[in-house]
Structure formats: C-alpha cells, structure tokens
Amino acid sequence: MTTAWMLSFTWILPLLSAAALMAFPREGNAAARRFALAVNGANLALVAWLSVLFVLDPPRTAAGSAETVLAFVSDYAWFPALNIRYHAGVDAISMSLMFLAAVVVFCGTLASWNIGSRAREFFILLQVLAAGVFGSFISFDLFTFFVFNELTLIPTYLLVGMFGSGRKSYAAMKLNLMLMGGSALILLGILGLYFESGIRSFDILELSRIRFDDGFQLWAFPVLFLGFAVLGNMFPFHIWSPDGHASAPTAVSMFLAGVHMKLGGYGCLRVAMYLLPEGALAWMDVFLVLATAGVAWGAIVAVRQKDLKYMNAYSSVSHCGLVFLGLAALNLVGLRGAVMQMLAHGFITAAVFCIIGMIYSRTHTRMIPEMSGLMARMPFLSVSFIIAGLAALGLPGLAGFAAEVNVFLGGFAAARPLTVVCTSLAVMSIVATAIYVLRATNTILHGPPNASAQGVTDATWLERIPLALLLACIAAMGLFPGPIAHLLDQALLPILANLDR
Amino acid sequence: MLVSFLPDLALLALVFLVLAADLSGEEGSRAYHAAWIGLTGISLLIIGMPFAGSFAGAGSGLYSAAEVSFAGYRTSPGILSWKLIFTLASLGTVLLSRPYFRDRGNFRGTLSKPGAFFALIVLCAFGMFTLVSARDLLVFYLGLELATLPLYALAAFQTRDADSVEAGSKLVLMGGFSSALTLFGLSLLFGVAGSLGFAALADAVRTVPNQPVLWGGVFFILGGLGFKLAMAPFHMWAPDVYQGAPTPVMAFLSVASKAAAVAALALLFFGPLDGLRPVLEGFFAAAAVLSMAVGNLGAMRQRDLRRFVAYSSVAQVGYMLLALLGEPAEAKIALQYNLIVYGVSGFALYFIMGVVGRDGPENLSSLRGLSRRSPGLAALLLLSMFSLAGIPPLAGFLGKFLLFSVAAAEGRYLLVGCAVAMAVVSFYYYMLLVKEAYITESGETAVAAGAPIILGTGRALAVWGLAMLLLLLGVVPMAADWLTARAG
C-alpha cells in the first residue's frame, strides 16, 4: 500500500514543487534551481528505490497469459459517472522508462544551472513537464494517461518558446501543433475503445480482455498508432522534432528527446498493439516500411547537418525508427529490442544533448565546421562526447548495441521477406551513423585548436555529475543487458500473447 | 408550489429593485450593488434548492424531481441547471462591467446610465428564465423576445462610439428578422398541433411526422435560433456586433445569450420535437462541421480581440451542436457543463481584456509582454487559452470531452474526427495570444508597454478565483456530479 502511494508520489512531488516554486520571489533564481535540484534528486532516489523493490520482487506473468500484472497498484474512482479511474501501477516496461525519466530530469536540472533570468519560471515549467511524463508512464487508465500526456503540452510550448534559441517561436508552435495533432488522433481512438468495448471502460487491463470487432480494429489501430507515432518521432511525422529539439534549451532537449518522445513508442506498444492486435497484424507492413524509411532517412540527413543539435535530432529520427522497426517485427525479440532501444536512445541522446549544451556554452557555436581541437582544451567533455557517440553507433559494450542487436535479430527472426529486407536496409544505415558520428568527433575534437577553442575550460564538477551518471547508465545497460531483457520479457509476454491469439 | 418558482420571482423582483436603487443612488453604485448581490443570492438559492434524491423528505412538498408547472410556465431540477448558468453568466457580466462606468476605466470611453444597464442585464436573464421554462409556444416566444430585446439597447450602450451604435442597429435588424422567422415557424407548428402546448405538439410530431407544414415550421425555427446562436451560416452578424458592443455586453452575448439559445434548441429538440431528430441528424452534423470550420478558420486571422472572441464562439457552437446527435440525458449534461467551462474560460479572457483595455485598444498586440507586466494576468491568460483549446487538465478539456463522447457514443467517429481536427486548428490561434503574452517581446512596443500592471485586491482575487476554477472544473468531478444529479 505504501509503495503504491510512493509510485503516485513520483508525479505528485514535481507538481507540488512547481506550486511551491510559484511562491518563490521573482528574483530568487538561485534558490529556485537549488530547490528544483533537491526535489528532482529526491524523486530520482524515490524512483531508484522503487526500481530496486521492483527488481527484487518483479510481478510474475503466468505462462501464455495475456494479463499484464502490475506492481505498486493503486486504483481509485475519479469521475465515477464516466467510469474514469485513477489506476496506477508499473510493469517492467513502465518501471524502466520511469527510471530513465528520473535520471534525465535530474541530469537536466544540473545541466540548466546557468539559466540566468527567469530561472524560477523555467523550473516551474520543467517540473510540470516531468510530472506529466511520470504520470503517463504509471497510468493504466486511458483517460488519465491522456490527461497526463497532454499536461506536457503547456510547459513544452513555453519552455521552447521562452527559453529556446534560434527560430524558437516557430519551432515551439510547430512542435506543439504536431503533438496536438497526434493527441487528437489518440483522443479519437480512445473514445472508440471506450464505446466499442461494450463495457464503457478506459482501463487498459480491462480493455485488453476484450476482443474488438475486426472492422473497428482496422480503422482504430492506425488512428491510435499514428497518434502515438507522431509523438514517437516516426517518419514522416518527425518534422517537428529537429526544429523543436534544436531550438529547445539543453535540459528541455534532453528531456523531450530522451524521455517525452518515448511516450510515443510506449503508447504504440501499450495501447495500440496490446489492445488492437488484429489491427496491428493487418497494418504492420505499412508501419514497417515507414520505420525503415525513418531509420535510413534520419541517418542520411544527419550526415548533411552542420549544426550539432540538428545532427543529433536527425540521429534521433533514425534511432526512433529502430524502435518502430522492433515493434513491427511482432515477436518477442523485436519488442524487447524496441523497449531496450527506447531506454538506450533515451540515455544516449540525453547525454549527447547535454554535452552539446555544455560545448555551446563555452564555444558559443554549435556549427561543426567552426570548431576544432576541443580535445586539448576540454578532455572530459570530449571523451564523454566520444563515448556517447560510439554508443549511438552501436559499439558493443554500450547500451546502443544491446538494443540494436535485439531489434535486428527480431527483424530477421520474423522470417517474412518484407521484414528481412527492411531489417537489412536498416542494418546498413549504421554505416551512415558511423559517418556522421565519427566525422563530427574528428572535426570538432581533433586537429589544431582554432578560435572556438580559445580560452575555453573543461566541465566543472557540477557539470560532470550529470554526464557521469548518464554514461554510467549507458555502460551498465551495455554490459548487463541480460537481466534487463529478462525483466522486460515478463512484461512483453502478455502483449505477445494478445498478438498471437 | 410557489416555492418552486422562487428563483424566477426573485429575478423579476430584482429588475425593479435595480431600477429603484438607481433612482436614489449616486453614480449608479447602488444599482450595481443591488444587481450583483441579487444575482449572487439567486445563484445560491438555485444551488441550495432541495430536490428529490438529495433530501430524505424531499417528496413532502418543498420541491420534487418531477416537473412543477403553472399554466404555460414550468420548472424542474434540469431546468434549474440552465437557470443557474444564466444567472452566473449575468453575475459575471455585472461584475465585469463595473470599471467601464468609472472615469478612465476604459480606453473607448466611460459608459453612462449604469442603472439602466444593470436592469437590462437582469431583465434579459429573466427572459432566458422564461424561455427555458416554457411549456407552450407562446411563452417560448415571449421568453425568446424578452431575452433578445434588451440586447439591442445593450449593444449600442457606448453611445458616442459609432461602432457600438452600428452594432446595436445591426443586432436590431438581424434580431428582428430572426424573431420574425421564429414566430412564423412557431405559428406553423401551432397550425400542425392545433394547440399552443408542447404536449400537443409532441403528439402531433409522433402521429404525423411527415407533414410539409411541420417541416416548414422547424426550418424557420432553426433559422431563427441559428441567428441567435451565431451558428454558421447565420453567424455573419456576430463579428461586427461583438466588435462594436462594449466588452461586457460582448461577454454577455457570447456566454449568457449563447447559453439561452443552446438551451432553447436542446429543450425543443429533446422535448416536443424529439421525434424529428433522427431526420435532422444530418442537418445538425452539417451545421456543426460548418460552424467549427468557419469559426476556427475565421479566428486565425483576427487581430481585434472582440472579433477573435466572436469567431472562437462560433466554433464553440459547432462543438456544442454535436451534442444534439446524442442521448438527451447525456447531451444535456455535456451541453451544460460545456457552457459552464466555456463561460469561465471566456470570462477569464474578458477580464484580461478589461484590464489591458484600460490603456489601449483591445487587440492582440496589447497583450504583448504581459508575462512581464503582470505574471498573474499572463498565467490566467495561459490557463484560459489552453482551456478554450481543450487541453487537459483544464476545464475546457472535460467540456469538449463530454461533447465528443456524446457523439462517439452514437458511433459518429468521423464527425468526432472532424471536431478533434478542428480543435487542433483552434489550438493554433489560441496559442497566438499566449505567444504575445509570453514569447514576443521584440521591438519598442515591449518597452513602451512595459509598465507593470498593478492589480487591486478585488482584481487579484478575481485572477486567483478564475484560475482555480479553470483547474478545479477540469479535475474535480463535483460540478459534473451536481449537473448529473439534476439532469432530466
């Protein structure tokens, strides 16, 4: 019972802290960021502790059962007239994504230490954003899930618009309109699930027992899947993300690309595929092709980028394509790869955006050709950049490899011609990844130091903490993927059982 | 039985009380106080009125769940919910209009004759009470006229402003025309039913639904009410009238008067004309889509805030028409809830317009830099815009959600798809206001408009109150439960 309360506390705490920050004096920027750090540190500790409890005693799924078993469950009526409930709990997928979210929020807080004016407003918005994401990951009632998911829209718009750089107003509007469009589809799909189920319920676990009419599944599945895929950065609905992520301030880029976007892949798996399996089987070829196109297109476009943030944003398009590729394999290995890819990409992209932000704050440029020889001046940041880059291109021993191997094995194991062809194409895109990662590394880190490297210093201790934490997570996941995969399988089996029925 | 009509009688008495208070008071402050205290009292009276189910002994006489009627006038818990909406909207208008009667209270000039103004508002509210209480065609028409006639004078209240006078005359012409249409339609219905009573009309609709005369009558009534509702394609008057009228009157038009028209539609088509709804579904669906499209696409290019409100309210009508396709009980709750949250979100915006309208014209650029001039007002604007756009967890989301689910329950997913797509469009233009307040800060205007806005205690309380309402109505089911308990 107490653990159930603590799980809900992961979103209540950020929300309360946002309310508390409103009471801070308008000039109390330093106090605001210390307070935000304390709260997010506490929340990270809370999530870490819950994760430990979860790993020690994971909920077991009966063999062949399509029933998702949750830990730390709380279930209260919210709007009884509409049968809307607050049903919170976690399985291995949500728990691991919760951990990712907590780490990235904490690191993002540290990475935004130098926000000067309006830091109070910045952290208020960041806390609301975090609350929305935490709440989404633990909600097993579709209405509540939707509410939490939408709660992220308000702070995202203002964070990018007020604190961003470049064409921030354009980027913020584009990002929010696209996400809002995705949400519109999700809302339509959720209403369909609610009324077509015949039980007027939003509860994911109850709905998973219903076998929806095939005609309904055929139109509802693409609606829901596309709705989430917009958020999950699937080609060709990714167009909001490069502008959005490049314009956002560092912590927000880290959070949007690292965590928020994962809600898309998570929703595709948890809502669209779990509840509408027949629809998934019918439509997956379409999404398989789109996913492959995204993997290849993102990597190719990333090669052409000169702005580090745009390069990483397009690299995200490519890596999120791998998530959808894993989902489209429709087998255990592929689904496991998809979830692991979400985790791996979350840590890696957060680390890369974090480093880019720190480099930019020193060199005042993000353009690759304008930088050279940074390795000599800031060895810590440079080495971190190399590690994160190698993780992104899938070096064994780091997180990206563990995830990508599962995605690709899943694709080949599906043993259908289209899947195999698409997977082969996706494998080849790793070459493009290698090109842009190694070229960027080579250009900005090596060679003679130029004007950009004049008078710059290495990361301070405060800045090393988030990087060390993120890189530790990347390494841990790369070195010990087995236990993680084993845990995830328990949560994926019910989804797979539904797909196989 | 008389007790059941207490709110109506009190409201009627209030009209005369406000006029009388104006005779003796100086500068109209007595009329103001009489009006807002009276309307608050009536709201509390309605909220507190016992109804069957809430008290064990309710059946014993005070008030019962069933309809209580007196000649052509009736009342019931469901009707009282409508009346509460009208009363609260009138109360909001009265409170909002106070500064407009003060010296230098508004950029467009000071309004005069406060006694008449407040009395007209209350009289208008009484007309709305009559409209929803009607149980025959004559009382229905009487209520409709009484709820419309005072608006003509109110729209032209800024007598020295040509725009306002034009708004008044436009409203007279359009309103007169639509009244004539409605009256003609009602007379045709009378011809079909052979009696004025709604009961006889319902019988006639049931027994001989396919009479051309009946359809003629319905056609004219829909046209007439469509004008009042500002439903596309009868919305043409709205942008001009909203722009010309004083801001409090615009608030009254867009919340109270709209609520009355929605209530009239709901009571007719869920009441005596219920049998015709299956045939009219196509019409309602088309009108809903058209209103959403016209309103949302029209609002995108507006720079004047009052015109902006006009188009946005046309769009809101489109969403509300969706409810007419659904089950009566659910639809009424959805409509009432939506009107409440639309009213709260709207009044939050009108309140902000009143504050920035003190020193300049009420257009989009006057909001520029609001987040620095007054963080509280800017936060309220933010909440209000996100609520109007229907983003959870704010009130507006729940309103839209209920409307959409009424249509989805009937399996009309394509229509719901249109509506959610239009909600995305609306998100764009609501965000434009937020952008002005929070993001656009370039150029000299930001410096020129940079003086901080200091809110007095009353206004600061209003900001807090409205912000809390916007949040609570979205997450606490209390208000929805209240309506549900009284539905019927």
pLDDT of chain A, 501 residues: tens digit per residue: 688 899 999 999 999 999 999 888 877 788 898 999 999 999 999 999 999 999 999 888 888 888 889 999 999 999 888 899 999 999 999 999 999 999 999 999 999 888 777 888 899 999 999 999 999 999 999 999 999 999 998 899 999 998 988 888 899 999 999 999 999 999 999 999 999 999 999 999 999 999 999 999 999 999 999 999 999 999 899 999 999 998 999 999 999 999 999 999 999 999 999 999 999 999 999 999 999 999 999 999 999 999 999 999 999 999 999 999 999 999 999 999 999 999 999 999 999 999 999 999 888 888 998 988 888 889 999 999 999 999 998 899 999 999 999 999 999 998 789 999 999 999 998 899 999 999 999 999 988 888 777 878 888 888 899 999 999 999 999 999 999 999 999 999 999 999 887
pLDDT at B449 over 70: no
Whether A227 contacts A183, CB under 8 Å: yes
Name which of B10-24, B136-150, B450-464 the model is least confident about: B450-464
CA A162 to chain B, closest CA, distance in angstroms equals 5
Q: Note whether B438 contacts A181, CB cutoff 8 Å.
A: no
Would you call B424 and A81 a contact, using CB atoms and an 8 Å cutoff? no
pLDDT for the residue B53? 44
Bond into B233 cis (ω within 30): yes
Contact call for residues B117 and B94 (beta carbons, < 8 A): no
Is the pLDDT confidence value at B56 over 70? no
CB B104 within 8 A of CB B359: no
DSSP secondary structure letters along A33-62: HHHHHHHHHHHHHHHHHHHHHHHHSPPPPP
Whether the per-residue pLDDT at B225 is higher than 70: the answer is: yes
Q: Which residues contact A45 (CB under 8 A, 6 or more apart)?
A: none
As to burial, measured by CB atoms within 10 angstroms (0-12 exposed, 13-18 middle, 19+ buried), residue B69 is: middle
- Read off the tokens for B427: 């998100």
CA pair distance B167, B165, nearest whole angstrom = 5
| A and B: number of Cβ contacts within 8 A | 81
Contact of B443 with chain A, judged by CB distance below 8 Å, is answered with: no
Contact check, Cβ <8 Å, B424/A185: no
Asked whether the beta carbons of residue B392 and residue A151 sit closer than 8 angstroms, the reply is yes
Residue B202 burial (C-beta neighbours within 10 Å; 0-12, 13-18, 19+) = middle
pLDDT of B27 reads 67
Question: Do A81 and B477 make contact, defined as CB atoms within 8 angstroms?
Answer: yes
- Tell me whether A310 touches chain B (CB under 8 Å): no
HEC readout, B116-172: HHHHHHHHHHHHHHHHHHECEHHHHHHHHHHHHHHHHHHHCCCCCCHHHHHHHHHHH
Cβ contact, residue pair A169, B435, below 8 Å: yes
pLDDT number for residue B60:
40
Query: Do B405 and A82 lie within an 8 Å CB cutoff?
Result: yes
Residue located via tokens 């309004």: B111
Partners of residue A192 in chain B, C-beta under 8 Å: 408, 413
Total number of residues shown for chain B: 488
Q: 319-348 in B: which are within 8 Å (CB) of A?
A: none
Phi/psi at B309 (nearest 5 deg)? -60, -40
Going by DSSP bridges, is the β-strand pair B68-70/A84-90 parallel, antiparallel, or unpaired?
unpaired
A156 has a chain B CB within 8 A of its CB: no
The answer to whether the beta carbons of residues B106 and B100 sit under 8 Å apart is yes
Give the helix/strand (H/E) hosting B73. Answer: strand B73-75
- Residue of B333, B401, B410, B476 to mutate for A, most A C-beta atoms under 10 A: B401
From chain B, pick out residues whose CB is under 8 angstroms from the CB of A26: 375
The whole-number average pLDDT for the span B310-319 is 95
Instruction: Report how far Cα B398 is from the mean position of its chain's Cα atoms.
Output: 17
Nearest CA in chain B to A178: B424
Mean pLDDT of chain B: 89
- The residue whose two tokens read 């003190």 is B358
Distance CA A74, CA A139 (A): 10
Distance, in Å, from the CA atom of B291 to the CA atom of A308, rounded to the nearest integer, reads 46
- Residue B49 CA to residue B80 CA, distance in Å, equals 9
Strands B73-75 and A84-90: unpaired
- pLDDT(B7) > 80: yes
A88 touches A50 (CB < 8 A): no
In angstroms, the separation between the Cα of residue B389 and the nearest Cα of chain A is 10
- Which chain B residue has its CA at the smallest distance from A132's CA? B393
Contacts of B485 in chain A (CB under 8 A): none
Residues sharing a CB contact under 8 Å with residue A218, sequence separation 6 or more, in sequence order = A278, A279, A282, A283
Cβ(B395)–Cβ(B385) below 8 Å: no
Closest Cβ opposite residue A81 in set B382, B420, B484: B484
Q: Which amino acid is at A263?
A: L
pLDDT in tens, B79-132: 889 999 999 999 999 999 999 998 888 888 888 888 899 999 999 999 999 999
Which DSSP string do the residues of B39-55 spell out, in sequence order?
A: HHHHHHHHHH---BTTB
Spatial contact of A85 and A75, defined as CB atoms under 8 Å apart? yes
Comparing CB atoms, the residue among A78, A151, A188 nearest residue B420 is A188
Q: Where are the beta strands (DSSP E) in A318-464?
A: none
Q: Which residues pair with A367 in a beta bridge?
A: A307
Predicted confidence band of residue B72 (pLDDT cuts 50, 70, 90): confident
What end-to-end distance do the CA atoms of chain A give, in Å? 34
Q: How far apart are alpha carbons A322 and A342 in whole angstroms?
A: 9
Token pair in block for residue A32: 């605001």
Q: Smallest CA–CA separation between A151 and chain B, in Å? A: 6
Query: Does the beta-carbon distance from A147 to B392 stay under 8 Å?
Result: yes
CA B268 to chain A, closest CA, distance in angstroms equals 26
User: Mutating which of A15, A187, A219, A231 best tests the B interface, going by the most B Cβ atoms within 10 A?
Assistant: A187
SS3 string, chain B, reads: CHHHHHHHHHHHHHHHHHHHHHHHCCCCHHHHHHHHHHHHHHHHHHHHCCCECCECCHHHCCCCCCCEEECCEEECHHHHHHHHHHHHHHHHHHHHHHHHHCCCCCCCCCCCCHHHHHHHHHHHHHHHHHHHHECEHHHHHHHHHHHHHHHHHHHCCCCCCHHHHHHHHHHHHHHHHHHHHHHHHHHHHHHHHCCCEHHHHHHHHHHCCCCHHHHHHHHHHHHHHHHHHCCCCCCCHHHHHHHHCCHHHHHHHHHHHHHHHHHHHHHHHCCCCHHHHHHHHHHHHHHHHHHHHHHHHHHCCCCEHHHHHHHHHHHHHHHHHHHHHCCHHHHHHHHHHHHHHHHHHHHHHHHHHHHHCCCCCCEHHHHCCHHHHCHHHHHHHHHHHHHHHCCCCCHHHHHHHHHHHHHHHCCCHHHHHHHHHHHHHHHHHHHHHHHHHHCCCCHHHHHHCCCCCCCCHHHHHHHHHHHHHHHHHHHCCHHHHHHHHHCC
**Residue ranges per structural domain of chain B:** 275-488
B424/A contact by beta carbon, under 8 A? yes
Nearest residue on chain B to A162, alpha-carbon basis: B439
Q: Is A218 on the interface with B (CB under 8 A)?
A: no
Check whether B345 has a pLDDT greater than 60: yes
> pLDDT tens digit string along B26-43?
667 889 999 999 999 999
Q: Mapped to the 3 state alphabet, what secondary structure does A324-377 carry? A: HHHHHHCCHHHHHHHHHHHHHHHHHHHHHHHHHHHHHHHHCCCEHHHCCCHHHH
Asked whether B62 and B75 are in contact (CB, 8 A), the reply is no
Closest Cα in chain B, distance from residue A188 (Å): 6
Least Cα distance to A346 among A93, A60, A24 occurs for A93
Q: Residues in chain A, how many? A: 501
- Lookup: tokens for A188: 């339509």
CB contact under 8 A, A192 and B408: yes
Tell me the shortest Cα–Cα distance from B280 to chain A, in angstroms.
Answer: 23
Helix and strand counts by DSSP (H, E) for chain A: 22, 2
- Considering only the beta carbons, identify the residue of B393, B435, B481 that sits closest to A81: B481
Q: Whole domain around residue A302: which residue ranges?
A: 2-500
Judged by CB atoms within 8 Å, which residues 461-480 of B form the interface with A?
477, 480
Do A180 and B438 count as a contact with CB atoms less than 8 A apart? no
pLDDT of amino acid B487: 66
Question: What integer pLDDT is reported at residue A302 of this predicted model?
Answer: 94
pLDDT at B59 over 50: no
pLDDT of residue B105: 83
The Cα B336–Cα B385 span in angstroms is 20
Which residues 7-46 on chain A approach chain B with CB closer than 8 angstroms? Answer: 26
Residue A18: the pLDDT is: 94
